[in-house]
Chains A and B, each alone.
Chain A
């Protein structure tokens, strides 16, 4: 019973099949990016166990595919068991051993990256400082507990997972409970129009929602846009309900006063706070002579710490990111502040945290070395025979 299974798991036939399936998954996963967008396609085809692919125009054709996790796992099992079962070490095969060791490291490294890496952004105009990065894929409902303190923000943030589950949230520093009544992954929020919306009740009983309506939309698939979630929640204080409130990414923070204390609530990109802050000093956007083609984007920033010790200025530009405190900041976009009319330069950094960044370096080194060794052994043998 066990023997045929072991034979299958260690067989080269399985390797070849898995590689062929790998080619198929990568190919269809790439094709799907045109319609689903990079992010959705990635999680559907590569960060999954199973998936299906259908042509854009002929949705009834359904091609079942294994997901990236399944293929990766099976390849690992195949590789490791083959080595345990069949391979006997010989100098003639040292290259193959090295190569396979590197492949194992690469597969594991990618798995760890998928599990632990986190991408976010930091965006600001010249002169501004930030002590947090924002995750453009995730949302949170943030309650600023002491709106009167201008120097320090103390925030209670409720993640999207709790909001979309319509959970009820209480917190020690909040004198009210938040009950989510309505949640839209993507929504259009617009002003309530006379005649058109007469029969429709306002989105909420309090705040700006009394003058607005909210309409659910399917999640966006375009690569450079994001879904705009919205929710309606009831706030319940010790003395009873404070009414329902509409929160959306497109709305400014709204103030709720309980017992003379002001709370500022908004739905926003999820923030990761850092123990230091980054201040944008100057942006430089060079173009090639007489054209609009970008030659260089460069941001001069200052790293600032609460005590003021260890502050320093750094230039971040294309192909030259800043690595600091386990994060990598790289130049992503550049523009001009249009909202306040100052025209100050603005800059967006992509900020990546990846604790397993070293794995691919080592893995690749091993594979490359292994391939070179193995092919040299072959080549020398071949030339000797020819000569």
Chain B
């Protein structure tokens, strides 16, 4: 049995991954098809499903909507998929206004808005609230005035309360936009209303002309037209997603519009785009529970688009699949399992555990790579385009390096480091994905594939290898100080691994940093500008050089090397996240204060490990450091 486990365990995870890759089967309404329809939001083509997921992330930090959050996980609360939630918001907002999808954590904000406490009877978990609660007449005013005040402040001086307030405010704005994407939010039967609109236009326009010319006119006809016009103006002013495709996709492929704008042009005499009618048919059918009609309308619209916008349809259906596949999440789960098995090996030296862990990490790495390639294919760009993808890529590089180390040493250390960094970076990536659309378009200055592919990729590999060296060093301290498992051979092997990886790190971080300088010189005419991110990268280079020289000069032995390498973790974390928190310079594209706490905790933990590294050898449980730390 034990000889088969290294095959069986990864195989089980592989089956789980393949099984989950299949799209869920639609019941009454073809939500899958609807979710893959292309629209334009945030400056890019994306499927409705992506809008739905990103919106739910912004509202409640999850990609699904839990409609009964007061219930425990095992009480089967009603959970709705992102696409179904979005469709209901767009078709039947009276219903979704009652769904508790706005997460509010800050107690002051909860009490300011008079939101209910946790109470099962009142169907409240004290954290998730409905639009009808957060946007009641009284609260709407409160939110407006308070967030205006918070908005005035500079980002650095905003309190947690301000941040919670602004977060809720932008979530509310987003929800308000989504409600007005396809129909005015108060529409009861949009398809029917739309059908009568054409009868209102000629008499209404005639009345308006007459009124302008000072002639007698039909007040009723004018008012009958002005009412829908007002609603449409509100719709377009809110800047909801652009759902109406270009009328002339060949000559003006970028001409996407909003429903409100299309309707306004129609009233001014232009033909009504077919998409407006199709979407109206969808929302009315969905609202009235007519599944067959809904599905027919979706198919009709989809087929029409396929003829004129085949590329967009293909791209958005791929992205829809990618959203569903969630490869990075699955890789994360696999890394956790692998980590446990790899650590297990240190205690019982069971070869099956080590080999199972190796197989699992291999599988995780495969899925990780698959996700990375899929993303590159979707974006048409090199792997690292923003902070989110840098986390994914650092993880990927570290796992690769860890597996390489394991191939040489076969002592499970490479596996522990690989799975630990893989898991942590993917968690970081997940948290970054809560902040914004991870496939967002790039700022003009960064829009160059050549430098993204060279400078960014190499410097990110420099980060990854510095982290690998640092984590190897952590293994040394943790095993040496807390357990008896660090024998002389392992200790020496670890020190050699660290040294080798630091060599790699020096090369990558130096070349990457310098390529950044060359990019700057090519595009701005100056090689080095002491920009915070540049300085961060320079610090990593200097630190790695310092480690190498200290080693060559025999100024440090194994333990000193280990402590320096752990400090490398701090240096790298500073460069990766710390400088972004300064909020200055060309690279300050990710201001985040929530992450500051985690950065501080990480730095403190590393300082503690370094301090342990300096403790006398007699306090260590393993005996090796005495010899090694001469």
- Residue positions of A touching B, CB distance < 8 A: 11-13, 15-16, 19-20, 22-23, 26-27, 29-31, 33-34, 38, 41-42, 46, 109-110, 113, 117, 119, 223, 287-291, 293-297, 318-321, 323, 328-330, 350-352, 354, 357, 360-361, 364, 367-368, 371-372, 375, 378-379, 382, 386
Q: Please list 30 pairs of residues, one from A and one from B, whose beta carbons are closer than 8 Å in the complex, sorted by A's number.
A: A13-B555, A16-B553, A16-B555, A20-B546, A23-B542, A23-B571, A30-B532, A33-B530, A117-B526, A223-B584, A289-B256, A290-B40, A290-B41, A290-B241, A290-B258, A291-B42, A293-B43, A294-B443, A319-B448, A330-B525, A350-B524, A354-B526, A357-B525, A361-B518, A364-B514, A368-B507, A368-B510, A371-B507, A375-B507, A379-B500
Asked whether any CB of chain A lies closer than 8 Å to the CB of B550, the reply is yes
Within 8 A of A (CB), among B101-136: none
**B521 within 8 Å of A (CB atoms):** yes
A294 touches B444 (CB 8 A): yes
Decide if the interface of chain A is mainly helix, strand, loop or mixed. Answer: helix
Q: Which of B512-560 contact A (CB under 8 A)?
A: 514-515, 517-518, 521-532, 535-536, 538-539, 542-543, 545-546, 549-550, 552-553, 555
Closest 4 CB pairs of A and B: A288-B43, A12-B553, A328-B525, A352-B525
- Residue of A with least CB distance to B524: A330
Task: Say how far A3's CB is from chain B's closest CB, in angstroms.
Answer: 19
Across the interface, do A23 and B539 meet the contact criterion of CB distance under 8 Å? yes
* Bound Cα distance A261, B510 (Å): 62
Q: Are A372 and B507 in contact (CB under 8 A)?
A: yes
Additional A-B contacts beyond A290-B239, A330-B524 (14; CB < 8 A)? A20-B546, A22-B542, A38-B531, A113-B527, A113-B528, A287-B43, A291-B42, A296-B444, A318-B445, A318-B447, A318-B523, A319-B523, A360-B521, A375-B507
Specify which chain B residues have a CB less than 8 angstroms from the CB of A30 in the assembled complex: 530, 532, 535-536, 579, 582
Interface status of B504 (Cβ within 8 A of chain A): yes
Query: Could you tell me the distance in whole angstroms from the C-beta of A45 to the nearest C-beta in chain B?
Result: 8
Question: Majority SS of interface residues in chain B?
Answer: helix
Smallest CB gap from A47: residue in B: B530
Contacts of A287 on B, CB cut-off 8 Å? 43
CB atoms of B447 and A295 under 8 A apart: yes
Q: How far is the CB of A85 from chain B (nearest CB, A)?
A: 14
B408 close to A (CB within 8 Å): yes
- B11 near A: Cβ within 8 Å? no
CA distance A23 to B43 in the complex (A): 40
- Interface bits B579-620 vs A (CB < 8 Å: 1, else 0): 100111100000000000000000000000000000000000
The verdict on B182 contacting chain A, using a C-beta distance below 8 Å, is no
The verdict on B44 contacting chain A, using a C-beta distance below 8 Å, is: yes
A19 contacts B545, C-beta separation under 8 Å: yes
The answer to whether A38 touches B584, judged by C-beta atoms less than 8 angstroms apart, is yes
CB of B255, distance to nearest CB on chain A (Å): 9
Question: Once bound together, how far apart are the Cα atoms of A20 and B547, in whole Å?
Answer: 10
Between A11, A19, A297, A351, the greatest number of chain B beta carbons within 10 A of the residue's beta carbon is seen for: A19
Residue B506 CB within 8 A of the other chain: yes
One digit per residue, 1 when the CB lies within 8 angstroms of any chain A CB and 0 when it does not, for chain B 416-460 equals 000000000000000000000000010111011001000000000
- Whether A16 lies near B535 (C-beta < 8 A) is no
Contact flag A360-B525 (CB < 8 Å), given A13-B555, A34-B584, A42-B530: no
| Nearest A residue to B256, CB-CB | A289
Rounded to whole Å, the gap between the CB of A31 and the closest CB of chain B is 7
B553 touches A321 (CB 8 A): no
Q: Are A16 and B41 in contact (CB under 8 A)?
A: no
Choose among B256, B445, B517, B539 the residue that contacts A290 (Cβ–Cβ < 8 A): B256
In the complex, chain A residues whose CB is within 8 Å of the CB of B535: 26-27, 29-30
- B549 to A16, Cβ gap below 8 A? yes
Contacts of B555 in A (CB 8 A): 12-13, 16
CB pair B582–A26 under 8 Å, yes or no, is no
**Smallest Cβ-Cβ distance to B242: which chain A residue:** A290
Decide if B523 touches A295 in the complex (CB within 8 Å).
no
Q: Which of A20, A350, A367 contacts B510 (CB 8 A)?
A: A367
CB distance from B79 to the nearest CB of A (A): 31
Contact (A318, B444) CB under 8 Å given A15-B549, A288-B43, A291-B43: yes
